[in-house]
Every structure is written in structure tokens, then in C-alpha cells.
Amino acid sequence: MSSEQAATGQTRDTAAGCGQHGVRVFLGAVLHFLDDPGPELDPAAWELFEDGALVVDGEGKVAWAGPAADVPCELRTGATKVDHRGRLIVPGFVDTHLHVSEVDIVASYGEQLLNWLQQYAFPAEAKCADPDYARTVAGIALERMLAAGTTTASVHTSIHTTMVDAFFEQALQRNLRMLSGKVLMDRVTQTPHYLRDPDVQTAEDQTLELIDRWHGKGRLGYSISPRLALTCTEDMLAMVARLHRQQPDLWIQTHGAENPEEIKRVLDIYRAQDSSYRSYIDIYDRFDLLTGKSLFAHCVHIDDTDRVRLAAAGSAVAFCPDSNMFLGSGLFDLDAAWRYGVSVGLGSDIAGGTSYSQLYALNQAYKVVAVRGGRLHALRGFYLATLGGARALSLDRHIGNFTVGKEADFTVLDFAATPTLARRAEIAETFAERLFALMILGDEQAVTATYILGRRVHERQSPAPV
């Protein structure tokens, strides 16, 4: 590839030939997944091009990925080259669960879920009625995600339409593929007076308006968002199911089976109406909320019957290891979920979780699996954080890997981001060993740059301290 060095660090191939307009060639090690490698690490499930190239067309779609030496002439000619050699290019991380309304209560001390909600989350969320505050936290959350290499997320907002508008507006400005929706919570005994939908009809009307305004706009999707069975009435859950039956292209996101005290309270309340509810997940199931577009955050305390039901419905679980430990909720059984065929994505769960980084989430996930006696291989970890998340959100026809035509959202990771990581990566003998070092020792410091549709939206500010 003949090229001229440009001041920007980008170069343009000047060979005569049959070039296409606006094509960019990103050089570096390229790793992406075609499928879940599974416990046996099926080598057909991923592609690694150590001296690789990712080619993005003028529309921001993947045109080609492979060895740098093999970039087809028609893509190479006239293309802008961006040099990330020595670094790792992976599809943008997918954070399947976080709360934009909780940006300011990250690292709040000393409580488990129910008290933590009352003491920290609900008061913080109430502030989102103010459009200026809503814009501020939406901006912070999006910038922190991009800095961490996260390009898509399933996001809880608050009950306020102001918060939903602020989040979607800013995601649209940045041309991001994001899912979100208004939080629904109306059960008088379990919600504070200052943070409650006045009635189901009002909540439905506001939801319908927001769907109309945002669903399908740019790359945005609307996720109907009952907060959890505890804070919703039976009528609210029934409304969600009805809405989804009418518009099955919408998503549903909620929480489930996170914390023992929460589970007991939920079952007490629902069983008072109908003693036959078998489990927390069974409540959602009986309200028709287990759909192929449903995402249940946490599911720490579920059993095999729940797993069978989730898998059969094609519903997904957001595994939030950092939050599950920070709030003392418990250890999600990832291996069991996978064994039963449940679709699982990784979540930061800001602000039950404490980091926007999916590398940090993988570090925590590794430890949760280890405490349970298992192992999370780096290749399965990176699958989970990319294509696995895209599948959990039913977005894998758009994002999640570098097959031709996918949207070119990606992140560039630096094996030398910190002295400890640099040393460990340097002495590693295999790529898998280096990747594991990145998964365990990396966080947002390891993110050199993040690209949306082939355009850089984040670049690490300070040089790596090596």
C-alpha cells in the first residue's frame, strides 16, 4: 500500500485504480466474533487478524475486515488510512444495563438494594424532572460510555419525559445506536410520593408519545421500561404487555430477582393476589412479559425452571457483576444461564455498578465465575461484551461484529495503557494471554479511541503512562 504521511496521522493511498468515495482503512489487530465460542472455544466463532485492517465505507458501514496485506484494491485505492498498529480494534462494547439518572450517585455507601433505592437512587432520579439537570446527566453518561469504548446501551431513565427526551436528543446528536424509555412505577406502597406515575393511563399516554417521538429515529429504539414488579401494579404490567403485543418491534427492559429481600417482598405482594406465582420470573411470565425483545437485569436468584422459560421465550438477561457485588446482591450463575441457552449480555448497571468500563465489568465477571468454580476465558468475555450484548438486545443485525454491512461502531484498545498491563502483555506468549491481561487489567484507560460509523468520537487525552 503506497501512502503519504499526513499531519493528522492519517494517510491516503495514492495508487491509481478503482477507489470508492469516503472509504477509510483502519490498521491494527482486528478481533471480532461470528458466534459464541462456547466452553470449548470453537475457533470458527471468531476471527483475529493480528496485522489486520477494518475497512469502513462512506456510509459508516463495514466494507471489509481481514489481513492488512489483503485489502481489496477497489477499497484500498484513494482510501484514508488510519494507523492503529500495535493496538486492538474490536466492535464497540454493548452495555446492556445502566441508569442515566444515577450518574451522580455512583459510589454511594453502605446499603443493599431496597434501602439504596430509597436513600440514593430515588432522590437522585427525582432531579431528572429538571430539563437542565436531565441534559447534564445524559451528556455525562454518554461521554463516559464513549470514553470507555461503549457504543450501544440499554438505558433506564426516570419517570420524567424530560429525562427521556434529554437522553434520546443527545444520543441522536451523536448518531448512536441506543435503547431507552420512560421508567414506569406506580405502586403506591413501594414508591416515594415524589417519584411515581399518577396512574397507568397517564403513564401509557406519555409512553405512547415518547414512542412516537423517538422510536426508529436515527438509530434509536424505544424500550418499554417498567422499573420492576415491586414498584409496578398489576395493571401497569398488563399495560406493558398490551403495548408490546400491539407493537412487537419495541423492546422491554426491567429488573428481576436481584436481591433476596426484594424477592421476598415481591413474592409476598403478588402472592397476596394469587398464591400460585412460582417465582419472580414467573410473575413476569404470567403477565406475558417474557418476549424475544425482553431484557431482565440481574436475575441473580433464579432457578432452572426460570432459565428454561427465559431461554424458550428468547428473553435476555443483563449480567451486572460489579453492581451485584457492590450492592451485595449475589453471584449470577453465568455458566448455568449459558448451559440453558439463555441469551446474556454484560451490564455496568451504573450506579449500582461503579464503572462505565466493560473491561472492568469483565474483570468482575471473571471473579464471579471463579468464585462459583468456573472460568471465563478472555475470548468468551470479549464475545459477551460485543456480539453477546448485541444479541441480548436483538441488535445483532446492525452491530456486534465486523461482518460486511454492519454499522462500523468500534473501539481501539491499547495493550500498553498502564505499566502493569504493558509489562504483562509484553511477556505474554500467546494472543489469548494478552487478551486476558487486557480483560483483567484494562479499563477506560485502555481505550485509545472510539468510533461511531467510522468517525472518531473519542480519543484518549493524555498519553499512556508507560
- Binding residues (CB under 6 A) for ligand GUN: these are 99, 113, 117, 121, 227-228, 255, 258, 323, 327, 349, 352
For residue 403, the minimal CB distance to Zn ion (Å) is 31
Q: Quick one: what does residue 323 bind among Zn ion, ligand GUN, none, with the CB cut-off 5 to 8 Å set by partner type?
A: ligand GUN
Q: Indicate the residue among 333 and 349 with the shorter CB distance to Zn ion.
A: 349
Choosing among Zn ion, ligand GUN, none, which partner's interface includes residue 406 (Cβ < 5 to 8 Å by kind)? none
Nearer Cβ to ligand GUN (329/394):
329
Which helix or strand (DSSP H or E) is residue 24 part of? Answer: strand 24-33
Least distance (Å) between residue 19 CB and ligand GUN: 50
Q: How far is CA 43 from CA 37, 48, 64, 182, 358, in A?
A: 7, 10, 20, 41, 23
| Cα–Cα distance measured from residue 322 to residue 171, given in angstroms and rounded to the nearest whole number | 25
The closest alpha carbon to 216, from 398, 90, 55, belongs to 398
Binding partner selected for residue 19 from Zn ion, ligand GUN, none, CB under the kind-specific 5 to 8 Å limit? none
Q: Are 409 and 420 in contact (CB under 8 A)?
A: no
Q: 121 is in the binding site of which of ligand GUN, Zn ion, none (Cβ under 5 to 8 A by kind)?
A: ligand GUN
DSSP letters along 217-281, please?
A: STTEEEEEEE-BGGGS-HHHHHHHHHHHHH-TTSEEEEEES--HHHHHHHHHHHHHH-TT--SHH
The C-alpha atoms of residue 440 and residue 359 are separated, in whole angstroms, by 7
Q: Is 148 helix (H, G, I), strand (E, B) or coil?
A: coil
227 binds, among ligand GUN, Zn ion, none (CB under 5 to 8 A by kind): ligand GUN
Q: Considering the complex, what minimum distance in angstroms separates the CB of residue 357 from ligand GUN?
A: 17
* Binding-site partner at residue 228 among ligand GUN, Zn ion, none, CB < 5 to 8 Å by type: ligand GUN
Which residue's CB is nearer to ligand GUN, number 215 or number 255? 255
On whether the CB atoms of residues 245 and 289 are closer than 8 A, the answer is no
What's the min distance (Å) between Cβ of 322 and ligand GUN?
10
Q: Which is nearer to ligand GUN, 16 or 107 (CB)?
A: 107
* CA distance linking residue 142 with residue 101, whole number of Å: 12
Q: Which residue is nearest to ligand GUN (CB)?
A: 352
Angle made by CA atoms 452, 8, 466, in degrees to the nearest 5: 85
DSSP assignment, residue 79?
P
Position 297, amino acid: A
d(CA 14, CA 113): 59
156's enclosing H/E stretch is: strand 150-156
Q: Report, in Å, the least distance between residue 228 CB and ligand GUN.
A: 4
Toward ligand GUN, which CB reaches closer, 117 or 141? 117
Measure the CA–CA gap between 343 and 337, rounded to whole angstroms.
8
Instruction: Return residues touching Zn ion (CB under 5 A).
Output: 297, 349
Residue type, 275: S
The CB-of-181 to ligand GUN minimum distance in angstroms stands at 14
**Which CB atom, from 296 or from 340, has the smaller least distance to ligand GUN?**
296
Residue 396 near which of ligand GUN, Zn ion, none (CB within 5-8 Å, type-dependent): none
Residue closer to Zn ion, measured from CB, 225 or 445 = 225
- Least Å distance between CB 98 and ligand GUN? 9
Q: Give the nearer residue to ligand GUN in terms of CB position, either 352 or 389.
A: 352
Q: Are 294 and 316 in contact (CB under 8 A)?
A: yes
Q: Nearest distance from residue 275's CB to ligand GUN, in Å?
A: 24
